[in-house]
Structure 1
């Protein structure tokens, strides 16, 4: 699924963490200056890969929503 908006806020961060734990593919579309912290990205990326999921952070809306079932 894809979240579009401020990547630093609690909603985006909680969704990314939950998706990583569940092994889901999570896309976050936001301007680069609103990306989550590097620490959070690293942790969620590691957890997602361990559980069969993927985390994608991009500022390209077309790339971010591609193949998403929920936006």
Structure 2
């Protein structure tokens, strides 16, 4: 009798994410998008620069908003 193999991948359900993990993800995404926006602006590619700048500003804004809340909980 042949063994039955399930080839479908099951999604992984993470239990929780730590505050510093979210902080590092938002910081790295903000830095990457900001650098991409500056490069696109210098090459006069406004269709790429505007969305990247918006995403970079939002991510860095979340980082600077979350930083005091992480340092001084309560």
Length-normalised TM-score, structure 1: 0.31
With normalisation by structure 2, the TM-score equals: 0.29
Higher strand share: 1
